[in-house]
Amino acid sequence: MSSNGTSKKIIAIQGDITQQGVDAIVNAANESLLGGGGVDGAIHKAAGPALLEECRTLGGCNVGDAKITKGYQLPAQWVIHTVGPVWRGGNDQEDQLLASCYNRCLEIATEKRLKTIAFPAISTGVYGYPLELATPIAIQTVKDFLQGNTTIQQVIFVCFSLDSYDCYKHFLLEMLPEK
């Protein structure tokens, strides 16, 4: 499912982010960067143990920030690890911190001159961020960042569940209507 409008660059697919042959995949990590469950566990499993070795050298990562490593055995060349906010009801700067995750990942990708990047639905698993609130923040932040950015050619939202895919399709049509 793709959407034109402001940008032909933003699409959503249903799938497994570890299988995406893009320049960088984004990992929804925790502050230790030393692995976890969900998409984090899947990425470490697919990348192999060398990913954890590199992550050990990074000294963790703050909520809303991101750090890059190589992709090792993944089809993606790079992994950008970001730490989303834990949902605490919405009055704890969750929306700014979530937007910051997407912005920092895109900044790092641009610095590295990467062209294609795949995001999972950051914070919407164990961290409990409601999907229908997180999704428009993800789309708006990416849309705003890509305005005037000539480096990044495609951003793929990789939805693991049908529910999240349906949610992304809904908001992409609403926020990036086909012209």
Contacts with ligand ADP by CB under 6 A lie at 16-18, 28, 38-40, 42, 84, 120-127, 158, 160-161, 164
Q: What is the closest distance, in whole angstroms, from the C-beta atom of residue 15 to ligand ADP in the complex? A: 7
Closer Cβ to ligand ADP, 114 or 138, answer by number: 138
40 or 109: whose CB is closer to ligand ADP?
Answer: 40
Residue 113, number of CB atoms within 10 A of its CB: 9
Buried b (16+ CB within 10 A) or exposed e, 52-90: eebbeeeebbebbbbbbbebbebebbbbbbbbbbebeee
**Residue whose CB is less far from ligand ADP, 16 or 132:** 16
* Minimum distance of ligand ADP from residue 176's CB (angstroms): 20
Residue type, 54: E
| Residue 91 burial by Cβ neighbours in a 10 Å radius (0-12, 13-18, 19+) | exposed
- Supply the minimum distance, in Å, between the C-beta of residue 148 and ligand ADP: 28
Q: Which is nearer to ligand ADP, 89 or 148 (CB)?
A: 89
Nearer to ligand ADP, 68 or 84 (CB): 84
Query: How far is the C-alpha of 96 from the C-alpha of 38, rounded, in Å?
Result: 23
What token pair was written down for 107? 């900044």
Write down the least CB distance from residue 92 to ligand ADP, Å: 15
Return the percent helix, strand and coil in the chain, to nearest 5.
Answer: 40, 20, 45
Shortest approach of ligand ADP to residue 178 CB, angstroms? 25
Helix (H) or strand (E) holding 144: helix 131-146
